[in-house]
């Protein structure tokens, strides 16, 4: 422990919905992987490293969440809960 009081580095979000530039929908990204669950989108950096924030479909007038990402996320959560 270094005496550092800022816990943001440890508390940062590692995955979530994110609207990459060029996409009209939100895709679900895992921060350690930087690839959308649907496999169609790659990020060049963790959104928080790039000064951007995770979001959801209610933000920014985006047209919704990617259906493929939603299905993959639901399947993953079903597995985690099962």
Residues forming the site for Zn ion (CB under 5 A): 27, 36, 38, 66, 68-69
- Kindly tell me which of 36 and 47 has the beta carbon lying closer to Zn ion: 36
- Kindly tell me which of 8 and 78 has the beta carbon lying closer to Zn ion: 78
**Nearest approach, Cβ of 38 to Zn ion (angstroms)?**
3
- Kindly tell me which of 23 and 48 has the beta carbon lying closer to Zn ion: 23
Alpha-carbon distance 46 to 42, whole Å?
10
**Nearest approach, Cβ of 36 to Zn ion (angstroms)?**
4
Alpha-carbon distance 65 to 62, whole Å?
8
**CB distance 29 to 47 below 8 Å:** yes
**Nearest approach, Cβ of 12 to Zn ion (angstroms)?**
22
- Segments of the chain assigned E as strands: 15-18, 27-30, 35-36
């Amino acid at each position: 422990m270094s005496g550092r009081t800022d816990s943001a580095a440890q508390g940062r979000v590692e995955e979530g919905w994110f609207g990459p530039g060029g996409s009209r929908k939100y895709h679900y990204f895992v921060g350690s992987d930087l690839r959308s669950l649907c496999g169609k989108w790659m990020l060049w950096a963790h959104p928080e490293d790039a000064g951007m924030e995770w979001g959801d479909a209610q933000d920014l007038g985006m047209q919704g969440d990617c259906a493929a990402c939603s299905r993959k996320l639901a399947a993953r959560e079903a597995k985690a809960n099962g």
